[in-house]
Homo-oligomer: A and B are copies of this chain.
Amino acid sequence: MPKAIILRLESYLTYLAQLKREGKTNATSEELAALFGISSSRVRQDLLALGVSGRPRAGYDIDNLRSTIVEELDLCNIKPLAIVGLGNLGRALARSDIWTDGGFDLRAAFDSDPALIGTEVRSGLKVRNTTELFGVIKSESIVAACITVPAASAQPVTDLLVTAGVTGIWNFSPIEINVPEQVAVENQRLEQGLMTLSYKMSTISN
């Protein structure tokens, strides 16, 4: 599936969750289209590709559409994950509630800073020494990791994670990490959100 469609499916999911919280049961392709500034036929195309079609006027059943997208992105299969690097960003992520929505279960946290090791980053989750990483990943069958470490540590930490059996890495470090073919990497480049904002502001003001 092209990246652009994956991103739209994720955005539909976020928006459908909000509509659901507001008590709605149905959403039309026009509503979904308006939110993202795309055509309603593009929305219908995206969803038809998943085998979902809406009813005239009523649109899509929110629960049904959500579960189809959740299935497509494999979010129902909750995968054990570790976070490496508990600086401000790592702590903010560890304490957030994004994990389950994103398809993962945060099971372990690692840092090499003695001041952090042993502290509780959130209820029931203590920071462990990075020297324990290999053993913990193996014994707890952790398959994915979020790395929020400085640039210089990104590749060595990646190598260690991959050797221990991790097959998916969410990379917040500013560098491209090298991994074997069977390991998935998603680079999170926060400055790109700012760049998009910069572009949007320039098109509105012109």
Contacts and interface: CB of A to CB of B under 8 A. Distances in A.
Contacts of A10: 189, 192, 195-196
Interface size class of A (residues with CB under 8 A): 35 or more
Interface of A: 1-4, 6-7, 10-11, 13-15, 18, 35-36, 72-75, 77, 79, 87-89, 91-93, 95-96, 98-99, 101-104, 143-144, 167-170, 175-176, 182-186, 188-205
Chain A interface, >50% SS class: helix
Given A18-B175, A167-B204, A102 B188 contact: no
Contacts of A202: 73-74, 77
B170 A73 contact: no
A140 B13 CA distance: 38
